[in-house]
Amino acid sequence: MIGKTAITISLLLATSTFATELFVYQTDRGPVVLTHALAQAQDQTPALDLVDLTIRRAAHRYELDPSLIRAIIEVESAFNPQAVSSKGAMGLMQLMPATANAFAVDDPFDIEQNVYAGSRFFSELMRKYGDLRLALAAYNAGEPAVDASASVPNFPETRNYIEKVLALYQP
């Protein structure tokens, strides 16, 4: 018996680039239902974790490992969507105001907007640097610091950040 669980199935149609996610759920006494409506799956499955679902969807969209996004979020905000750093970074992925603006984030505390923008930004850093450690350094210390040193900047906070993320990341 599936019980109150939800399973995400990603389908990529062979004849197009259209991708969709379908949600499968089963109530305690009901039949298994397949729906494209996240809200319906959430209503029927209270245990559905919106953060985890958002991570998986953003990871798929931006070609990242969901485990990596989870590790970044854990280090950045300890999964607190209302987190604000002393430097003004906001939400799960700790977006700086300029980054939030650059990725058209209206509400940096909105789980979906924050995770999608942070994932997109990190994906761009991975493409730019081609190296996980450098991308993590740029995410933490900023691109100018990585570009100026042409390596991981010699900032204890950034070096500790990279080690924490890598310790949590289980590919």
- Catalytically active residues, by annotation: 76
How are strands ordered across the β-sheet holding 6-12?
6-12, 19-26, 32-35
Answer for the pair 169, 67: CB distance below 8 angstroms, yes or no.
yes
Which token pair is 79? Answer: 């999964």
* Cβ within 8 Å of residue 106, ≥6 positions away: 113
d(CA 30, CA 52): 25
Compute the C-alpha angle 152/156/160, nearest 5°.
Answer: 80
